[in-house]
């Protein structure tokens, strides 16, 4: 699964109005970033490396596992597979996307 296909999958899940009203960046390290701007409707999902209210740092493999539903976000955080920089409250709202 490529960065483009993961970005498209996330775009589908976020939809036009995710309801979490913030800017979130998924930092996949050397594999790139996925940026979600949910401050306006319709929400946008891109691979822009822009400033965000919350940044989730996770490997590409773990992100794929998370999207597939085989990795719980809370468990990933507790195991150190997922790190949150910025507003933790926003990160917790993301569970509806996963």
* 3-state secondary structure string across the chain: CCHHHHHHHHHHHHCCCCCCCCEEEEECHHHCEEEEECCCCCCEEECCCCCCCEEEEECHHHHHHHHHCCCCHHHHHHCCCEEEEECHHHHHHHHHCC
Domain annotation for the chain: domains and CATH numbers:
3-92 (3.30.1050.10)
Q: What is the pTM of this model?
A: 0.91
**Closest of 31, 35, 63 to residue 49, by C-alpha:** 35
At 93, the pLDDT band (50, 70, 90 cuts) reads confident
Residue range 71-88, pLDDT digits in tens? 999 899 999 999 999 998
């Amino acid at each position: 699964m490529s960065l483009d296909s993961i970005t498209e999958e996330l775009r589908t899940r976020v939809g036009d109005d995710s309801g979490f009203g913030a800017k979130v960046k998924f930092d996949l390290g050397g594999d790139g970033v996925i940026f979600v701007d949910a401050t306006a409707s319709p929400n946008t999902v891109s691979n822009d490396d822009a400033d965000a209210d919350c940044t989730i740092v996770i490997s590409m493999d773990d992100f794929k596992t998370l999207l597939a539903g085989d990795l719980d976000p809370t468990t990933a955080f507790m195991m150190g597979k997922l790190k949150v920089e910025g507003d933790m409250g926003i990160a917790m709202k993301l569970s509806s996307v996963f």
